Structure 1
Amino acid sequence: MRSILCYGDSNTWGFVPGSFGIRERYDRNTRWTGRLQQLLDPAYFHVIEEGLSCRTTNLDYDDKPNGFRGTEFLSVILYTHAPLDLVIIMLGLNDLKKQFNNRTSQQIAEGNKELIDIVRSTTYGPNMQESPAILIVSTPIPVETSGENPSDMFEGAKERMQDLADELKTLVNKYDKNVYFVDAAPSVQISPVDGIHFDATAHEQFALLMNKTIRKIFNLPA
């Protein structure tokens, strides 16, 4: 049995686009993590959800309690679910909020490096003798909204993350082994309802991309 930890934000949690205030969540079978479990062989893969709305890479909020900084509890979460064969990390979108002083794609990549180094410092991989493999995902770029977004918290985010995929790919290439990269932007369309979240179609698109990517990592047939 191969265990895969999915460490992300609201798009891993399953936040329904536009449901600010009421926070609707897609059901397990609609969320990409649940669909990924169905696409992979359930007899040989266990997909673990660790999505948290508003999670950043390495930034603390002034107006939220502890726990939303991705680096804060990652080592504990890894130990909780160990042994792990793969850790999927898709974080950085929330770093683009205006309250974080117009963070750049390079700074987001640096936040991802901290996350990678935390995972690589552990022995929570197969047989608890080594670190798990890591898959870094560049999140799709925000889109213009067709509906009402109750907040301008992501103003300018689209422009500031144009180079994020290149920055993350360059980062991953610096590691010798067991760190992989995939850009989700060409395969996944963000919902125009709020411009930042996956709708049901995007969850399906992303699950298909993860299925294809994971099979390549483990040298399995498509």
Structure 2
Amino acid sequence: MRSILCYGDSNTWGFVPGTFGTRERFDRNTRWTGRLQQLLGLTDFYVIEEGLNGRTTNLDYGDKPDGRRGTEFLSPILYTHSPLDLVIVMLGVNDLKKEFNHRTSQHITQGIKEIIDIIRSTNFGPKMQKPPPILIVSMPKVVDTDCDSVLEMFAHANERIENLATELKTLVDQYDDDVFFVDASPHIQLSPVDGIHFDKRAHEQFALLMNDTIRKIFNLA
């Protein structure tokens, strides 16, 4: 059985769009990770959720508890779930928040590079003999919304990440064959309710994209 770790933010956690006051969560069978498990099958793959609301690539919040910086607890998380056959990384949306001084795609790419290098410095891959392969996902574009708080928090986000997919692909190409890339933007649209979260349809679409991508990585039909 192959183990896949899904390392992400609220879109991996399953945050229901617009529920900022109650922080509602889609059920396991609706979340893309649960749907991916169904698509891959229960006997050949084990899909592990590691989604945290507000997680960044390499940034600390000034007013939130420690642990939301993606680089902070990554090594022990990898060890906890090892041995791993693949680590899926989809982060970057939270880096775009206004409080982080208008980060750009270059900053996010640097944060992802730090995460890749942490993973590649371990031996938590197959048989605990080498690093696990990595799949880097370029996130979908932020969607225009009537949610004023989101509009303010993520002002000019898409302008700042216009070249993100290209820059992440260039980064991945610097590594060997065990680091892979996929751009989610052509396949998934975020919810117009708040502009930043997967709705049920997006969870399904993303699960299908991940299923196809993973099968290609492992040369499966």
Once the two structures are superposed, residues 62-119 of structure 1 have per-residue CA deviations (whole angstroms, 9 ceiling, x without a partner) of 0111100000000000000000000000001100001001111011000000000000
Structure 1 residue 148 displacement after superposition = 2.8
Q: Kindly report structure 1 stretches of 4+ aligned residues shifted beyond 2 Å.
A: 147-151
Question: RMSD value over aligned CA atoms?
Answer: 0.7
Equivalent residue number for residue 205 of structure 1:
205
Tell me what 1:148 maps to: 147
**How many pairs align?**
220
Q: For residue 44 of structure 1, what is the aligned residue in structure 2?
A: 44
The TM-score with structure 2 as length reference comes to: 0.98
Aligned 8 A contact 1:75 1:119 in 2: yes
Measured after TM superposition, the shift of residue 41 of structure 1 is 2.0
Question: 2:119 is matched with which residue?
Answer: 119
Superposition deviation, residue 149 in structure 1: 4.1
Letter in 2 for 1:148: C
Deviation by residue 1:24-83 (Cα, 9 ceiling, x = unmatched): 100000000000000002101000000001000000000111100000000000000000
- In structure 2, list runs of 5 or more residues that go unmatched: none
Q: Is the 8 A contact 1:10 1:54 kept in 2?
A: yes
Alignment of 1:5-154 (within 5 A): 5-145=5-145, 147-151=146-150, 152-154=152-154
Deviation at 1:156, TM superposition (A): 1.1
User: 2:193 and 2:135 mapped to 1: Cα distance?
Assistant: 28
SS of match in other structure, 1:150:
helix
Task: Give the deviation of 1:150 after TM superposition.
Answer: 3.1
CA offset at residue 179 of structure 1?
0.1
CA distance in 1, matches of 2:22, 2:149: 13
Displacement of 1:170: 0.4
- 1:183 is displaced (CA, Å) by 0.1
CA contact (8 A) 1:18 1:149 kept: no
Q: Identity of paired residues, percent?
A: 72
Distance 2:108 2:171 in 1: 11
Letter in 1 for 2:27: D
Unaligned ranges ≥5, structure 1: none
In structure 1, what is the Cα distance between the partners aligned to 2:116 and 2:213?
18
Q: Which residue of 2 aligns with 1:185?
A: 185
Query: Normalization by structure 1: what TM-score?
Result: 0.98
